[in-house]
Structure 1
Amino acid sequence: MTIKTDDLLNSILESLSRIDYIHSGEIPNIDLYMDQVTTFMEKQLESTKRYPQDKILTKTMINNYAKNDLLPPPVKKKYSKEHVLILIFIYYFKNILSIRDIDLLLKPLTEKYFGKDADFDLSSVYEEVCQMEKNRVQSVQDDITALWAQASESYADAPEEDREMLQLFAFICSLSFDVYIKKQIIEKVIDSFPTSRH
């Protein structure tokens, strides 16, 4: 692919190196009203938006999550730090999983760790997962670079004026295949959860 598209790869890799997460210590230790929760989430996750007008979280979303038992109900209309942690998980899962699968995945966590005073709590679960993901950034960058190289060698026989577009298409298809396969694996693992059998 051309220099312009190589700049695209470099931009992708650079954006991956900047990926961070909301540290549990950044979440207020005081209970928040819904407006405060939506404002906090909007500010903290703003960099994940595709379009500026997109909303990270709305009051309607929060109410629906509580109504569908994805999120424990607020106490006197206030949401705890643990509510915010669950909302962060929901935010990331909702792009690839059904509401039912998210419920099956989060139910054991909320039943065992939500609202419990213990050395190992929901913050501990969250921090461990985030650290594990942060440690994977380099391997993800390596995988993307390899897929890019493979796509760059594709369509050698295509008309020259179409080659770059077709190579980008091949790159997107490779990434999409990865997402598709991983989604299948996630669903299979969720189906094996003891709570998913009722």
Structure 2
Amino acid sequence: MEMGKLIADNQIQLEDIPQIDLYMDQVIQLFENTFGSTTRNEEEKVLTKTMINNYAKGKLFFPVKNKKYSKEHLILIAFIYQLKGALSINDIKSLLNGVNTRTAEGKMDLDHFYQLYLDLTKLNVDAFVNDLENQASRAAEEAKELNEDQPAELEKVLLATSLVHMSNLYRKAAERIVDDVKNEAD
């Protein structure tokens, strides 16, 4: 399997975010245009009106004005989109609560914070590519020990299970960080 096919990492860049407030349909279109290629199939939706309404009702971002979403809302929705694959909605709310509050009060430069996140994601992709190649090599070596008719399939199973294990380790670490953030806020 080609390694490039395994990497599905798109990000909304700051320059992609309009300087004007957007209506919900425009927000959805921006996210579809950016993340549509990362979905597993055409039925999978990147973002829906229901999702955005649920995030708003759950207070995952500060209230919108006149049914329009500001640049700050779009950044927060981008964070939510990235976090929802690994964390519960309650964990996301706890994690972003301070960011929301500081942003709504004008005490935080959310653009700068988001750019720091984007910088980290670039480093993460490089580290991921290296780790993925190492994991694939190890899985191939382990699969050679099997005397089976379909070693390519079993190699992929070993690689997938190894990657899921790594994902679980990272998710558990992130959950512990969320718990620390919650405890510090209390």
Report the TM-score, using the length of structure 1 for normalisation: 0.86
Match of 2:144, SS?
coil
Report the TM-score, using the length of structure 2 for normalisation: 0.91
Matched, 1:106 2:101: no
Mapped to 1, the partners of 2:37 and 2:104 lie a distance apart of: 28
Map of 1:147 onto structure 2? 135
Which consecutive aligned stretches of 4+ in structure 1 deviate over 4 angstroms post-superposition?
A: 194-198
Map of 1:4 onto structure 2? none
Q: Percent identity over the alignment?
A: 33
Pairing partner for 1:77 from 42, 67, 75: 67
Pairing partner for 2:169 from 173, 176, 181: 181
Over 3 Å counting, the alpha-carbon distance change for 1:72 and 1:197 in structure 2 is closer
Map of 1:167 onto structure 2? 155
Over 3 Å counting, the alpha-carbon distance change for 1:109 and 1:195 in structure 2 is farther
Gaps of 5+ in 2: none
Over 3 Å counting, the alpha-carbon distance change for 1:132 and 1:79 in structure 2 is same
The code of the aligned residue for 2:144 comes to A
Matched, 1:23 2:13: yes
| Displacement after TM superposition at 1:37 (Å) | 1.1
After superposition, the C-alpha distances for 1:30-60 in whole angstroms (9 at most, x for unaligned) are 1111111111211122222211222111111
Pairing partner for 2:82 from 92, 98, 119: 92
Over 3 Å counting, the alpha-carbon distance change for 1:83 and 1:47 in structure 2 is same
Please tell me whether the aligned partners of residues 30 and 81 of structure 1 are also in contact (alpha carbons under 8 angstroms).
yes
Gaps of 5+ in 1: 1-7
Over 3 Å counting, the alpha-carbon distance change for 1:115 and 1:21 in structure 2 is farther
Q: CA RMSD in A?
A: 1.9
Aligned length in residues: 186
Greater shift in the superposed pair: 32-41 or 56-65? 32-41
